[in-house]
Structure 1
């Protein structure tokens, strides 16, 4: 049994070997590195670097939501692995709360279009 056998449900712990598990479940996986985030600009840059966003991506919460919830561009089954998420939450509580709201809203919007967006957190390599 895999996390991808069930519908996405909030921000969940990533399975061991998430790339392998996602490939076996035919889920596209993207990793977002949150380990070096200092502010909102860094966070938006991380999403820009780790997702195939257009050059015109607005680097704000509304733009991030628009991209992540767009059923025309999102694959049927996508997993975002939020690398170093627990540390990010500890060090940037307000920013993490805003990000969580956007991600959960996008997850719900895509579900309304029959698409799945798993939001998975992962520990740093040294802790995993």
Structure 2
């Protein structure tokens, strides 16, 4: 059992990946990831409606080194490196991700692909890398 009382296996790189959650899950996942020894970063996507804004917010949250490019290839490289931000594992918590999805579906889909690629690369290095994207509660409603 961890300090928070949640043991979700977040320290296991074989289980890590990209997952959709509700906004209510973000705080719990943040706490559980910290308990698992992961470096966590919350990335607020409220009002984020373009690739440029998305890349800026991710770069700021992860404190990308000066001179880092602002394109998909640079984001992919930075997420798979993180030598300036050493940790035993990583958890990125994207708040209000539904706003980006609704405003720019192409950017949202590309973000998912880049995050999945980074997660797989870190898993190959035996390092957990998680990305949790908070979507509206309605997206999880089950049909009766």
TM-score (normalised: structure 2): 0.75
- 1:54 maps onto 2:60 in alignment: no
Unaligned runs of 5+ in 2: 1-6, 137-144
Q: Evaluate the alpha carbon distance shift between residue 16 and residue 46 of structure 1 in structure 2; reply closer, same or farther with a 3 A threshold.
A: closer
Cα deviation per residue 1:54-105 (whole Å; 9 max; x = unaligned)?
Answer: 1111010011000101164452210000111123212221110011111111
The Cα RMSD (Å) is 2.1
Which structure's CA Rg is the greater one?
2
The answer for the alignment partner of 2:8 in structure 1 is 2
SS of residue paired to 2:56: helix
- 1:26 maps onto 2:37 in alignment: yes
Q: CA deviation at 1:5?
A: 5.3
The answer for the alignment partner of 2:117 in structure 1 is 105
Q: CA deviation at 1:45?
A: 0.8
SS of residue paired to 1:80: strand
Unaligned runs of 5+ in 1: none
Moved over 6 A (4+): none
SS of residue paired to 1:120: strand
Query: How many correspondences in the alignment?
Result: 124
TM-score (normalised: structure 1): 0.83
SS of residue paired to 1:122: strand
Query: 2: distance between equivalents of 1:3 and 1:34?
Result: 26
